[in-house]
Chain A
Amino acid sequence: MGGGASVHKSKGQDDSDSCNTSQRDGSSSQKQKSGFRIHRKKKQKEAPRQSTGTGQIRPHQGSMGKAERGKTISLKAAILIQRWYRQYLARMEIRRRYTWNIFQTIEYAGEQDQMKLYNFFNALLTHMPQKPGIDIGSKDGANETSSLDSVSVSSGGDASSTAAASGEQRTGGRVKLRKRKLFAGNGACIDLEDVTVENDYKGPHVKLPMTLQNIQELIDGFKKKKILHVKYVAQILRVAAANLKALPNFHQPSTSLSKQITICGDLHGKLDDLLVIFYKNGLPSPENPYVFNGDYVDRGKRSVEILLVLLSCFLLCPDGVFLNRGNHEDHIMNMRYGFIREVRLKYKVFSGRLLTLIDQVYRSLPLGTIIDGRVLVVHGGISETTDLKLITDIDRQKYVSILRPPVLETMNSDGRVIPLSELYSSSHNGSEWKQVLDLLWSDPQNGTGCSPNTFRGGGSYFGSDVTEKVLKKHGLQLLIRSHECKPDGYEFMHSNKCLTVFSASNYYEEGSNKGAYVRLLGGPSEAVEPYFVQFNAATPKLRSMTIRQRVGLVEASALRELRTRIRERQDALTQAFNNYDPDSKGLISVSDWCVALEESTDLKLPWRLLRPKLAELDSATGLVKFATTFQEETQSDSEVDVTVAEVLYRNKSSLETIFRIIDKDNSGYISMDEFAEACDLLGKHLSTPIPQQQKLEMAKSMDMNKDGKIDLNEFMETFRIVNAEHEQDDSLDYEELDD
């Protein structure tokens, strides 16, 4: 590499010159624009000699002239490459950011749907007999006063209940458990905690009272993908609920001894993130206290494990673990967002009863934490009406679900149930329910003011003035909350008075965001000093990717979600498209296409920029071939009538929720009558009622194994809406209980 060598050499030789060149950096770009300058420079050096500048330089001057040119040209090269690289970076960045917008928009719109259908769910819940155990009037809600008490155990012979249960799994018979207790062959009732642990159970054993060793074994077991035996789960849930119940609505820890405290945000079933936190920051103890700010379950696949680990830590160390309730600690949310599915998958016949116990834990969870009387930690946020004193006096046990408050609270004087939308009108401003809802559902906004959170459908948007006011009113210095995913895992707003911390990394997709936790250092007499740790519980695949590949992956995922939503709205969209295309050419302008999409999907997104990814243009006219918007759809070839299927499909994300509500005992099956009833109700709440005959036919066609019952998979499969996530869940990489 002679050339390379000579450049270096000449750099050494022409040291003074190279210094000059670099000092004249700023102006050199202008110089480069005209080659003339370079020549002039050469002339200055080689005054008596001419140079053609084409490389035909006389040998004894050659190296110097060439070196000069080489340096300047290298500079030009560098600058040009750098400019292009910065552009490359900027284009990636913009893509990353708007992909983020897409995810957030879809996520919140989903929650909004949930709320919008609140009235429907309310009706469903009222008309269907209550779930056993959810008895709002009773003190602990755990009474078996359910009127549904037919139990059929179809396996024969075995005296012990465990054998009966496992016998079901082996023979594939069906057990419908409508009561909390199991009947053994001899008719005696057996409590979940009395279930015998099989000899071949290889998971962790837990003997209360909780010890550090128990927790270590739990964590190790979970790392190896073991499922904790239902006996131990029931024990932990029961004792934790009892202990939590005794706590006040706000934890009030002091850092006078520990001199520090750690606050974690949403975990959403991502056990890996919790383990990373414990690895980096240590297990909880009185010297190392933690506040966990809600949303332990849903979405991620290891919600059960997270809940068990956190509750176990709480049992071991009640002075070092402070658990807040989040908006996902709520069975109505769990129906839609995956926790119930997970419990059913892992605990099968026992899931119904476990879920009842979990509900007890939820309603016993305190609503927030106040550290050293100066830092408020709640899951969602606040509103202008937030009154901590009022909340302190509430009986929080009443709120089995935050979305379904005590009946008396929600009725008008004429006995009509108040819809959520009305709750936020002035006449209900003093409502206790609104106080609780605001704590768990609100989001901070830029600017000032306070308004109902229409994005989510519950809670408020609170501005910087609200934060200021509420903090001042209660003598507080800082509000820490979670509830929203942030790219860096945390974010300050409102002049650093409102801090969001979010601990589930890669929440939307691998590579979408970091997780974070915050440590407050120093005791109560020192200033509040937050210290942040960010992390990424990433897989090896992710780590080896370039930024560009990661952004591309997240974007592809966002687009998939978007396409799903578009398909859900196909009917309305097609109508809108046809309106813009009176001559039925199949073509409409890009602007019309954008308007149609925004209106039909209810998503405010940059449609014009997304268009290339979603629909094709007709090359001759430059118009959009709108049929291509739906091109990835797989056609359902069931005998079900198209319009009915689409009505249900459109509400697909609610379908699973509906199914679970109907499936009161969480057995995983619903009867055809129950299904028909649910369709009735759905039809009433949408503008398209479903004809009776079609309902029955649909139900029949869904019942693929012709046993008179529909299971969830059949239900969803009929509409080809088993998505990849469901399929993954159903494939077991966990050990079976009774192997």
Chain B
Amino acid sequence: MAKDLSAKDIERAKFVFSIYDFEGNNTVDAYDLGSCLRALNLVPTEKVVEKLGGQKKKGQKKLKVDEFLPLYAECKKDKDIGNVEDFTEVLKLYDKNENGMMYYDELKHILQTLGEKLEGSEVEEIVKDCAEPADDEGLTTYTLFLRKLMAGPYPGDED
């Protein structure tokens, strides 16, 4: 399965693996599997990570690089990553004035209560970074938020 990966992919995967190899013995804790895959620009859900062998606690399972690469290849195949238009469709539900704005608090609420919930502090961070501050009425531009989120923390960098 590793032949689905280009040489460059393998090199980057090995690099990320080496960063998370905290003990210096060429293994990565399965707890960090999700972080590794995401650092390689994939967007698996927590469920998918678990399916691939990720653990909820540290120290349960260790992965060697040869075990990691096929997981990376597998995860890479998943094309359902969503694009801005998907999101926009979805968030239009909340955009009653149809002007591209929604209530900041509703956005937070969604992220904290639905799906694979985020912590309050995480939501604060992400909104602080990606969304414009809510205006006087508590509204924020969601398309801008989405674009920034998907562009990643350091857009323009090749990583």
What is A's interface to B at a CB cutoff of 8 Å?
Answer: 1-4, 7, 22, 25-26, 29, 33, 70, 73-95, 97-98, 101, 445-447, 546-548, 551-552, 606, 608-609, 612-613
Contact = CB atoms under 8 A, between A and B. Distances in A.
Contacts of B41: 87, 91
Nearest to A608: B11
A90 B87 contact: no
Given A3-B94, A4-B106, A546-B129, 9 more contacts: A1-B103, A74-B93, A81-B111, A84-B82, A88-B126, A90-B39, A94-B39, A97-B20, A612-B159
Nearest to A96: B19
A94 B110 contact: no
Contacts of A77: 87, 90-91, 110, 114
Contacts of A73: 89-90, 93
A228 to B, nearest CB: 43
25 contacts: A1-B97, A2-B96, A3-B96, A7-B93, A7-B94, A73-B90, A76-B90, A77-B114, A78-B113, A81-B149, A82-B45, A83-B44, A84-B43, A85-B111, A87-B41, A88-B149, A90-B36, A91-B39, A93-B35, A101-B19, A548-B129, A552-B153, A606-B15, A608-B15, A609-B159
B118 A87 contact: no
Contacts of B149: 81, 84-85, 88
**Range class of the B interface residue count:** 35 or more
B38 A74 contact: no
A1 B153 contact: no
A546 to B, nearest CB: 5
Nearest to B110: A78
Contacts of B23: 446
Contact of B93 (A70, A78, A84, A613): A70
B111 A82 contact: yes
A26 B45 CA distance: 11
A527 to B, nearest CB: 23
B27 to A, nearest CB: 11
B47 interface: yes
Contacts of B61: none
A95 B153 contact: yes
Nearest 6 pairs of A and B residues by beta carbon: A90-B38, A78-B115, A78-B114, A79-B115, A3-B96, A94-B39
B150 interface: yes
B111 A87 contact: no
Given A85-B118, A97-B19, A91 B93 contact: no
Contacts of B42: 87
B34 A86 contact: yes
B152 interface: yes
A461 to B, nearest CB: 11
B12 interface: yes
B96 A74 contact: no
Contacts of A84: 43, 82, 149-150
A613 B115 CA distance: 37
A528 to B, nearest CB: 23
Interface of B: 11-12, 15-16, 19-20, 23-25, 34-39, 41-47, 80-82, 86-87, 89-91, 93-97, 103, 106, 110-111, 113-118, 122, 125-126, 128-129, 146, 149-150, 152-154, 157-159
A74 B114 contact: yes
A292 B76 CA distance: 51
A94 B106 CA distance: 31
Given A3-B96, A4-B103, A77-B91, A88 B39 contact: no
Of A26, A79, A93, chain B has the most CB atoms within 10 Å of the CB of: A79
A613 B150 CA distance: 22
A25 B44 CA distance: 16
A466 to B, nearest CB: 16
Contacts of B45: 29, 79, 82-83
A674 B118 CA distance: 65
A315 B144 CA distance: 61
A485 to B, nearest CB: 16
Given A74-B90, A90-B38, A447-B24, A612 B158 contact: yes
A29 to B, nearest CB: 6
B86 A87 contact: no
A546 B122 CA distance: 11
A70 to B, nearest CB: 5
Contacts of B111: 78, 81-82, 85
A87 B96 contact: no
Among B25, B95, B110, chain A packs the most CB atoms within 10 A around the CB of B110
Nearest to A446: B24
Nearest to A101: B19
A98 B126 CA distance: 22
B141 to A, nearest CB: 15
A578 B45 CA distance: 48
A21 to B, nearest CB: 9
A97 B39 CA distance: 12
